Each structure stands twice: as structure tokens, then as C-alpha cells.
């Protein structure tokens, strides 16, 4: 059994074909060979969801490790060179800096990491979304770890009765807070119900004395537009969830996605729409650049080795969720440029709308009646 294993999922959109819909296989092959050349990693798996390339890595170097982050950055950088050569769309889109400096956080890519002691059997699910923002995980993570109508284990497994600790980031003020659930469930919901600003960063088992125990989930919280100060596409977040043996079961972890909730993103990062759970193969967001997708890969860890992947939404049991998402998409699309299909104005600040408004600002006159 390996101690102190770190699971790092780092993603970026470094160019897409066609438009913003998928990652060219040559980019994936490039990142794969880049990671394979390094001796930093125990194991890795490279995949894509929509136009985002996802590096799933295990290693022994802890979270926020400079060398591991640099390796990911270099893999994205090398793939960008190919994207440029192939004239793919948005080549290098998410690499906001010219060079790596210490940590990929704040440089464009999204990151979810956790350091764990691998259990005798360690099933993990990696969620990856396209055409949405980090707050998209708030509702499903709440259901998984706090809603007994979703997670039967919260009622039936005594080892879950103490509950969990949710770490929440305020992305606007740059502050963070822990909530102890179930006691502080209502306080937690008051904040995470506003997912454009308050996002769940991580979730821990609760020890008997109320302190943080083992980490159970970790999500990316990077918001590209806030980082860049201008519109550069949506963040398309990732999330790692450990399952079973005193944590929610695999089926409890996947269950929230049976109901496609509304998230912000979709076309031009400016629309609310349903998040559709699909297989990796079906994660090609073509309709109005969407609707937003969520994919999930399951792995069993074996001394750092990633046994898998298993494409978890490649299951007919999620067909109804996909149908429902399509129905909701039809309904919302009929509203065209009107809220609440289009995002509210404060969210549109982070899109290209301010440029439209600026052109017209001199024509606005005071209302004098």
C-alpha cells in the first residue's frame, strides 16, 4: 500500500477542432508522450471532454507541486504548438501566461488535486465538464455529501452519520470558509446557491471532535475570466470524488446527474442551460456550442496505478437525463437573448457584452421626464 499518493487533474483548452467542440487526437498523443517521458508520475491518463484536454495524474509529490505543475504546463504548451501548426481554433486559448512560473494556478489551466493514503481499495470518480463554470459542481456535491434523498448512506451507513466538512471559496472576495454539515446545512446553502461566486473547493470526512478528517472530494475553482480580466471562454471545471467504504457509493456519487440541473456557460459562456451527462464519445457540444456536458471516468487505484478508465455515464440509465436535458435545451433556446436563458447582467460583465455597451455609451441621455 502506498502512502501519500497525490491525484492531480489539470485541464486546459489549448485549441479545438472544429470551433470549440473537440480536441484533435494529435494533441492528446502529444500530451501523452510528454507525460510518458517524465519520471515524476506514478501513472497518468490523458483524455478530452469537448474542447478541453484533461491530464489525470498520480504521483508522490503532494499538491501544488511545482515540478508536476510545470510538467502539465509543458504538455499543454507542446500541444499548443501542434494546435497552432494545424491552425486549430483558439490555439493556446487557456494558457494566459507566456511562461510557467511556480504553479499553474492563475495561469489559465483548471486544477483539482488531493493527497491521500490509498485505502485497501480506492475507487475514485473524475468529473470533467465542458461549457460551464466551477460552481456547476455545487449542487451535485451538496446532494452527494449532504442530501439523504440522494445518498442513502447518509441514513443507512453509521460511519457517515457525523457528516462532512465543506470548504467554500468566495471567488470575488478571495476568502474561504468551512461549513460543518449537517448542522450548518442551511448556512452552506445560503452561499453555494449562488454558484457564480461561492464554490465548493473540497469536502472532508468529519472526525468525532468536529475537525477535518480524510479528504473526500476536491474541485477546480479557477475562473478564467476573473483571472484574465476579460472574456477568454468558460472554465470547464474538473472534480475528484473518492467513493465507497464510509464515503458515498459510486452510484450515490453519480445519482445527482440523473437530473440535469441548470448551469451557467453554453454559447459564448453567456447562457444558462442544462448540464447533460454523456459518455466521452458523446461529449461533442455542437448544439449552440452545447448544451454543457459532464463526463465521469472511474478508476480503481492500485498503489498509484490508475486501473481504468471506466466511462461511467456510458449507461442507458442516464438516457432519460439526456432526453430531459434536450427538452430543457429546446425550451430555453426559445428565449434567445432574453434572461434567464441569457445570464444576468452582473455575470455578463465577464463576457464580450461590455464591448457592445461601450460603443453606445455616448448615446445614452438622461431621462428628464
Q: Which residues bind ligand F6R (CB under 6 A)?
A: 19-20, 131, 233-234, 267-269, 289
Binding partner of 252, given ligand F6R, Mg ion, none, CB within 5-8 angstroms per partner class: none
The distance of closest approach from Cβ of residue 15 to Mg ion in the complex, given in angstroms and rounded to an integer, is 8
Of these residues, 13, 130, 235, 236, which one is catalytic? Answer: 13
Based on the shown chain and the rule CB under 5 A, indicate whether residue 94 belongs to the binding site for Mg ion: no
Q: State the nearest-atom distance from the C-beta of 299 to ligand F6R, in Å.
A: 27
Q: Is 13 a catalytic residue?
A: yes
Determine which one of 169, 204, 231, 350 is catalytic.
231
Is 157 designated active site? Answer: no
Question: If binding is defined by CB under 5 A, does position 90 make contact with Mg ion?
Answer: yes
Per rule CB under 5 A, is residue 133 in the interface with Mg ion?
Answer: no
* Binding residues with Mg ion: total (CB under 5 A): 9
Stretch that binds Mg ion, among 167-175, 189-197, 228-236, 346-354 (CB under 5 A): 228-236
Closest CB 114 distance from Mg ion, rounded Å: 23
Whole-angstrom distance, CA of residue 265 vs CA of residue 234: 6
Does the annotation mark 131 as catalytic? Answer: no
19 binds, among ligand F6R, Mg ion, none (CB under 5 to 8 A by kind): ligand F6R
Among 5, 9, 10, 13, contact with Mg ion (rule: CB under 5 A) = 13
Q: What would the grid cell of residue 107 be?
A: 495561469
In 3D space, the residue among 203, 197, 236, 233 whose CA is nearest the CA of residue 218 turns out to be: 203
What 3-state class would DSSP assign to 137? helix
Question: How far apart are CB 210 and ligand F6R at their closest, in Å?
Answer: 40
Between CA 168 and CA 171 the distance in angstroms is: 9
Closer residue to ligand F6R (CB): 260 or 269? 269
Would you say 17 or 131 has its CB closer to ligand F6R?
Answer: 131
51 counts as binding Mg ion under rule CB under 5 A: yes
Does residue 243 contact residue 145 with C-beta atoms inside 8 Å? no
Please state the three-class secondary structure of 213-278 as a single string. EEEEEEECCCCHHHHHCCCCCCCCCEEEEECCCCCCCHHHHHHHHHCCCEEEECHHHCEEEECEEC
Phi-psi region of 154 (alpha: psi -120 to 50; beta: other; left: phi over 0): alpha
Q: Which value, in Å, is the radius of gyration of the alpha carbons in the chain?
A: 20
269 CB-contact burial (10 Å; exposed 0-12 / middle 13-18 / buried 19+): buried
Q: How far is the CB of 289 from ligand F6R (least distance, A)?
A: 3
The reply to whether 20 sits near Mg ion by the rule CB under 5 A is yes
Of the candidate spans 43-51, 95-103, 139-147, 268-276, the one that interacts with Mg ion by CB under 5 A turns out to be: 43-51
Catalytic residue (one of 234, 235, 311, 350): 234
Q: Considering beta carbons, is residue 163 or 292 the nearer one to ligand F6R?
A: 292
Give every CB contact of residue 87 below 8 A, 6+ residues apart in sequence: none
The CA distances from residue 228 to 14, 54, 76, in Å, are 15, 21, 18
User: Residue written as cell 486559448?
Assistant: 93
Q: Pick one of ligand F6R, Mg ion, none as the site partner of residue 43 (Cβ within 5 to 8 A by kind).
A: none
State whether residue 346 is helix, strand or coil.
helix
The span from the CA of 306 to the CA of 298, in Å, is 9
- DSSP string of 146-176? H-TTT-THHHH-GGGTT-EEEEEEETTTTEE
- Confirm or reject binding of residue 236 to Mg ion (CB under 5 A): yes
Site residues (vs Mg ion, CB under 5 A): 13, 16, 20, 50-52, 90, 130, 236
Which residues participate in catalysis according to the annotation? 13, 231, 234
Amino acid at each position: 500500500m502506498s502512502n501519500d499518493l497525490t491525484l492531480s487533474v489539470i485541464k486546459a483548452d489549448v485549441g479545438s477542432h472544429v470551433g470549440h467542440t473537440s480536441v484533435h487526437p494529435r494533441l492528446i498523443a502529444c500530451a501523452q508522450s510528454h507525460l510518458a517521458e517524465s519520471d515524476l508520475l506514478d501513472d497518468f491518463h490523458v483524455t478530452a471532454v469537448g474542447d478541453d484536454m484533461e491530464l489525470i495524474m498520480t504521483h508522490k509529490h503532494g499538491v501544488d507541486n511545482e515540478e508536476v505543475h510545470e510538467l502539465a504546463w509543458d504538455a499543454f504548451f507542446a500541444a499548443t504548438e501542434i494546435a497552432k501548426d494545424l491552425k486549430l481554433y483558439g490555439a493556446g486559448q487557456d494558457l494566459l501566461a507566456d511562461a510557467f512560473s511556480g504553479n499553474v494556478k492563475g495561469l489559465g489551466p483548471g486544477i483539482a488535486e488531493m493527497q491521500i493514503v490509498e485505502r485497501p481499495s480506492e475507487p475514485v470518480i473524475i468529473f470533467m465538464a465542458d461549457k460551464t463554470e466551477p460552481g456547476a459542481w455545487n449542487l451535485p456535491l451538496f446532494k452527494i455529501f449532504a442530501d439523504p434523498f440522494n445518498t442513502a448512506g447518509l441514513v443507512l451507513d453509521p460511519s457517515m452519520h457525523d457528516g462532512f466538512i465543506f470548504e467554500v471559496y468566495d471567488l470575488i472576495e478571495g476568502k474561504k470558509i468551512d461549513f460543518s454539515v449537517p448542522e450548518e446545512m442551511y448556512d452552506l446553502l445560503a452561499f453555494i446557491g449562488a454558484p457564480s461566486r461561492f464554490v465548493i473547493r473540497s469536502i472532508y470526512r468529519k472526525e468525532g471532535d468536529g475537525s477535518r478528517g480524510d479528504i473526500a472530494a476536491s474541485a477546480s475553482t479557477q475562473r478564467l475570466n476573473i483571472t484574465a480580466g476579460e472574456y477568454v471562454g468558460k472554465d470547464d471545471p474538473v472534480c475528484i470524488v473518492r467513493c465507497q467504504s464510509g464515503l458515498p457509493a459510486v452510484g450515490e456519487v453519480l445519482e445527482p446527474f440523473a437530473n440535469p440541473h441548470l448551469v451557467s456557460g453554453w454559447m459564448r459562456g453567456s447562457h444558462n442551460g442544462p448540464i447533460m451527462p454523456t459518455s466521452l464519445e458523446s461529449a461533442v457540444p455542437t448544439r449552440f456550442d452545447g448544451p454543457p456536458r459532464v463526463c465521469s471516468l472511474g478508476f480503481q487505484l492500485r498503489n498509484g496505478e490508475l486501473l481504468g478508465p471506466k466511462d461511467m455515464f456510458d449507461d442507458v440509465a442516464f438516457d432519460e437525463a439526456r432526453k430531459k436535458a434536450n427538452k430543457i435545451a429546446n425550451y430555453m433556446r426559445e428565449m434567445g437573448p432574453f434572461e434567464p436563458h441569457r445570464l444576468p447582467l452582473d455575470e455578463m460583465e465577464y463576457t464580450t457584452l461590455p464591448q457592445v455597451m461601450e460603443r453606445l455609451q455616448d448615446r445614452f441621455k438622461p431621462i428628464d421626464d
